[in-house]
Amino acid sequence: MLPEQDEEVDLENGLARLTEQVSREHERAAHREQIIDRLHAENQDLRRGLLQEALTPVRSGLYRLYDTVTREAARREGADPVVPLLEAIAEEVAEVLARTGAERLEVSPGDPYDPALHRPLRTEPGEDGRIVAVVSDGFRLAEQDRVLRKAGVVIGRNVQQSEEND
């Protein structure tokens, strides 16, 4: 073999080793990027969880305020000039809750009872298994579609069926 050919072979081998080494380093860098991205996502999830946990007592107080004002507005229903003010306060409290991620559950009389969304307070005569009245609104965490507080409801019970079973 000629010295020129030896140099070419050495150069090709060196180039092949260098290409292989660069390829391995590229794979390692890509793997590190994946780990960094995963850790960042886990960190963000943890922060969101801590924030939601920190908001729990604040929401609890706002739920009580919302219920109190709503109940008082309903109790004074009629020509009492305070009712619009109470309703406006309740709406503002609901708005503050929404800014924390807690949205009101849409619950209406006539809806079917769902134990995942509704907290039964009592039963009254009405269509069996249907909501007769909503006593307190429920709230859910919209971004996670998780119920934060179930709606307090009155559930209908068919009186004729109950009497026939007795």
pLDDT digits (tens, 9 = 90+) for 6-40: 677 788 888 889 899 999 999 999 998 998 888 88
| pLDDT mean over 54-58 | 89
User: What is the secondary structure of 24-91 as a DSSP string?
Assistant: HHHHHHHHHHHHHHHHHHHHHHHHHHHHHHHHHHHHHHHHHHHHHHHHHHHHTTTT-THHHHHHHHHH
